[in-house]
Amino acid sequence: MQDRESLSINRQDNSISRSKQLESAIPPSCISTFSSGEFVGMVSDTPDQPIDLNVFHAHIINDTTALNSEDKAISLTRMSTR
């Protein structure tokens, strides 16, 4: 958490606002270096249902052989229905 403070001044009054802001768990500079298929995320929990691992970093592994055969089967199905 990062403390923030702002001062507003007008002709009639001055006011100070104080707040807390949550900083990024994973900075954009780190995310920009990811390879294709990598992703990160954060999930929230509740007091009744706590989650042990709230932050994750994962990589999608595609089975290109299975994907290609599935694409071929779909295209053949589309051709036969015409």
User: How far is residue 19's CA from residue 51's CA, in Å, rounded to a whole number?
Assistant: 27
**Hey, what long-range contacts does 25-33 have (CB within 8 A, 24 or more apart)?**
25/55, 26/55, 26/57
CB 17 within 8 A of CB 3: no
Instruction: Write down the pLDDT at residue 79.
Output: 66
Identify the three-state secondary structure at position 66. Answer: helix
> Among residues 15, 17, 26, which one has the least CA distance to residue 58?
26
pLDDT per residue as tens digits for the range 1-15: 678 888 888 888 889
Q: Give the tens place of pLDDT for each residue, 30-77.
A: 888 988 889 888 888 888 988 888 888 899 988 889 888 988 888 877
**16 close to 7: Cβ distance less than 8 angstroms:** yes
